[in-house]
Amino acid sequence: MADERVRDVQKWLNQTYGKVSGYEKVTEDGVTSWATIYSLREGLQHELKITELGQGFGTATRAALRKVIKDIVPGTTGNIVKLIKGAFWCKGIGPTNFTDTFDSPLYNAIQTLQGYAGVTSDGLLSINLMAALFDMSAFVLISGRGDKRIREIQQELNGKYSSTGNKDDEGLGILPCDGIYQRDTNTALIYALQVVLKVKNPNGNYGPGTISATPIVNPGESGEIVRIIQYGLYVNGFYTGEFNANYDDDVASSVIAFRKFMNLPEFTGISDLTVIKGLLTSNGNTDRDSNMFDTSTQLTDQDVLNMKTYGFSIAGRYLTGTVGTGSEERDKNLTPEEIQRITDGGLSIFPIYEEGGYELKYFNGYQGYKDGFLAVAAARELGFPSGATIYFAVDVDVLDGDIEGTIAPYIIGVINSMADTEYSPGIYGTRNVCLHGEELGMKYSFVADMSYGWSGNLGFKMPKNWAFDQFVEYPIGGTPIDQGASSGKDPGHHTFKTRPIETISPEDAIKSITSDNDFINGKISFDTSTVLMEEPYIKITAKAATEFKHEGKGIAFSIKNGKFSVNEEAVLKAFLKENNVPSAAADVIIDKLKGSTIPSKLTTGSLTFEMSTSGLEALKMKITYNLLKVDNKTLSGECSMTLEVDLYPIDYVKEKVPEAIEGVVESTLKKLGPGLTIGIAVVIIVACFVVASPELLTAAIVTFLTAYIPQLLS
């Protein structure tokens, strides 16, 4: 929503600095964004006589500000004061006016921000405060997401550690106080620990100096390091007590619970390096013992012996693919011979699938569906037993805002593809990715905690469903491995036996699902569209393909045992809400969808769709079925069938406007002919164009897609 005060700031910025070299004009939309913050920073840099303007608030800006900061006091006038007021308006803390005078309202605004940040409310500007002001950081509890106790931690960290040394911009700085445990909060906890331990040059990175300085802290002790342990226990979800710096029985029992959850023996209430670093970093104590490793190297007899000697009992291996490029490229896939060597050597194996999971652009719903199909086929060929979990790799640091449009659809695709197989889907990735996977339905997580600097690990809890925790890499006997811990949820597999699977070809599958329907029987061709029906206001075409397809924006309906299985109900509800479908109507649609039988021989697969409109002139829908099982036979290769429905209802509506809706229904059914139940949905949509609201129209479209299109296959 636009804020006129913010718009005033944006207009003034463009008018004042629009001709300054290096200044980037901001859109005057009244919305605070990074673009507005960057323009404020560039204006500030110009007033500080910095000639090369930039979007950051770096060393040059701080150095120039240090020369003048003490002179910006009540009574001061000038553009710097006006920039400060503009930043306050963008921060949501109104300084009452937008003049160039440091007046009492500005003084009060500074005190308000200081109070929100947890630092001394003296009304005086500092470099750290300016950096926090000229930033998008929030200092109020974020509704629906923020935790007031985490905000309390953030404020206390700012109050104690924001400024140390002789300069006001030395120290931790003033970090967000929004109640969300995040990268900055995580870094601040490590920084605070370094200050308490008197580590030289504290920087928020848990490096060798901090590791060597980390003490053993016992129950009964007290002090700031105990408070930091309490903070760490709370943000990881293991402590609900007071942050009172006393190592009491509550803290000790919380430490034991954390040790057990993370499988960090001995399971005592003592906090050592393994506990403290485990609370504040994703990789924890990388010198700790564990029983699991993974590798992209095909293991020899000597490798297996080496791993067993080092105390490992579980090996993670890749189902398919190669690693390296050019002359360095080599196979990474598990082979039957290697399985024999590993299991004969006393180790178990769990499967990993990665054929491109190291680039964000790789991930989408279609790719997830395809990967699930290929991974299952490879696991079957190698003889992995029923019940094995396959871990699909997201080997990239995905920003939180990018997950919904990439990783989430990929995960849903994998889950739908494996819905009616003997295997379970698992996820490999950062803590944040694994948390999303856990929520969407991945059985177990293989957490890439080794990459402790990744944004998806800093500031995120460990998923409850973690099976493996990768924390350090090194070679053994020249073979590179990643060492990890095991929670015990997935012990790996010792026994392998290939099982014959009855398959059906894509061509025979299409023939089978259409054989009982005169409307489409014998009319579906591969890669060539066939017109199934064409009337003045509706056209239906269809084609099959020897590949999976994923239409739309991530909504997919799984078909299992011949019935719909909506395993992403929350996503569907959000979609319906975004399209203004009333909640009551949305509930009806979802309830009718769940468990409804597909009247065809399609046993297992998925349905995806996309929609587009051209005003009221036309409505285009594309519905794709990806086939996994037909007549309970597994597809031997990728196969999909796509129906395209074009509706042109306006001319027909114009003829029928004077008639009642019942008349429209009757006339349309007669025109379409008896038995073609898709006509009912067409009539609903036509009627909505005439007499109903957009909300009802959307509900009708969704109902059409989820309930009536499958009848074309009956």
pLDDT at 547 over 50: yes
Residue scoring higher pLDDT (438 or 548): 438
* Residue-wise burial string across 272-309, b where 16 or more C-beta atoms lie within 10 A, e elsewhere: bbbbbbbbbbbbbbbebebbbbbbbbbbeeebbebbee
pLDDT in tens, 259-284: 999 999 999 999 999 999 999 999 99
Residue type present at position 572: L
pLDDT of residue 582: 53
Q: Is the pLDDT of residue 569 over 80?
A: no
* Token couple for 600: 């065809």
Residue 469 sits at φ, ψ, to 5 deg, of -135, 100
Q: What is the pLDDT of residues 114-124, one digit of tens each?
A: 999 999 999 99
Q: What percent of the chain has pLDDT over 70?
A: 81
pLDDT band with cut points at 50, 70 and 90 for residue 241 = very high
- Of 77 and 586, the structure prediction assigns the larger pLDDT to 77
Beta strands per DSSP E along 306-410: 314-318, 322-323, 330-331, 348-353, 389-393
Is residue 138's pLDDT more than 70? Answer: yes
pLDDT band at 606 (very low <50, low <70, confident <90, very high): confident
Q: Global pTM?
A: 0.84
404-412 mean pLDDT: 90
Instruction: Give the chain's domains with CATH numbers.
Output: 4-133 (no CATH), 148-280 (no CATH), 292-486 (3.20.20.80), 506-713 (no CATH)
* 386 close to 497: Cβ distance less than 8 angstroms: no
Looking at the DSSP bridge assignments, the partners of residue 531 are 541
Q: Is the pLDDT of residue 554 over 50?
A: no
Residue 277: phi and psi, rounded to 5, are -70, -35
| DSSP classification of residue 121 | -
Q: What is the pLDDT of residues 347-389, one digit of tens each?
A: 999 999 999 888 899 998 889 999 999 999 999 999 999 999 9
Check whether 668 has a pLDDT greater than 50: no
Contacts of 478 (CB under 8 A, 6+ apart): none
In terms of pLDDT, which residue wins out, 556 or 313?
313
Q: pLDDT class for 314, splitting at 50, 70, 90?
A: very high
Task: Give just the sign of the alpha carbon dihedral 158, 207, 471, 311.
Answer: negative
Is residue 143 within a helix (H) or strand (E), and if so which, with residue range?
none
Average pLDDT, the chain: 85
Q: Is 354 exposed, middle or buried (0-12, 13-18, 19+ CB in 10 A)?
A: buried
Better pLDDT: 578 or 624: 624
- Single out the residue of 126, 129, 135, 120 nearest to residue 66, CA to CA: 126
Q: What is the pLDDT of residue 409?
A: 87
Task: Give the pLDDT of residue 674.
Answer: 33
Task: Please check whether residue 113 is in contact with residue 129, taking contact to mean a CB–CB distance below 8 angstroms.
Answer: yes
Q: Per the structure block, which two tokens stand in for 188?
A: 């601040």
Half-sphere exposure in the Cβ direction for 169 (13 Å, CA) = 21
Cα(542)–Cα(556) distance, integer angstroms: 19
For residue 684, what pLDDT band results from cuts at 50, 70 and 90? very low
Q: Which of 355-364, 368-377, 544-553, 692-701 has the lowest mean pLDDT?
A: 692-701
pLDDT tens readout for residues 11-21: 999 999 999 99
- For helices 273-280 and 183-196, the axis angle rounded to 10 degrees is 150
556 with 568: CB under 8 angstroms? Answer: yes
Give dist(CA 642, CA 624) in Å, integer. Answer: 4
What is the C-alpha to C-alpha distance for residues 408 and 103, in angstroms, rounded to an integer? 50
Token pair belonging to 667: 């006339």
Q: Which residue has the higher pLDDT, 506 or 631?
A: 506
Cis peptide before 266 (omega within 30 of 0): yes
Does residue 49 come out as left (phi exceeding 0), alpha (psi in the -120 to 50 range) or beta? left
pLDDT band of residue 585 (cuts 50, 70, 90) is low
Residue 630: is its pLDDT beyond 50? yes
Q: Record the tokens describing residue 290, joined without a space.
A: 């564990």
* 3-class state of residue 596 by DSSP: coil
The highest-confidence range among 162-166, 192-196, 527-531, by mean pLDDT, is 192-196
User: Tell me, what DSSP letter sits at residue 651?
Assistant: H
- Please compute the mean of the pLDDT values over residues 60-68 and round it to a whole number: 94
pLDDT for position 643: 81
399 class by beta-carbon count within 10 Å (0-12 exposed, 13-18 middle, 19+ buried): exposed
- Name the least confident of 93-97, 444-448, 661-665: 661-665
Asked if 139 contacts 177 with a C-beta cutoff of 8 angstroms, the reply is yes
DSSP secondary-structure letter at 712?
G
Confidence of residue 676 (pLDDT cuts 50, 70, 90): very low
In 295-435, where do the E strands start and end?
Answer: 314-318, 322-323, 330-331, 348-353, 389-393, 424-429
Of the listed ranges 353-362, 431-440, 572-581, 661-670, the least confidently predicted one is: 661-670
Calculate mean pLDDT across residues 138-144.
93
Mean pLDDT lowest among 270-279, 412-421, 440-449, 608-617: 608-617
DSSP string, 261-298: HHT-SS-SS-B-HHHHHHHH-SS--TTS--SEEE-SSP
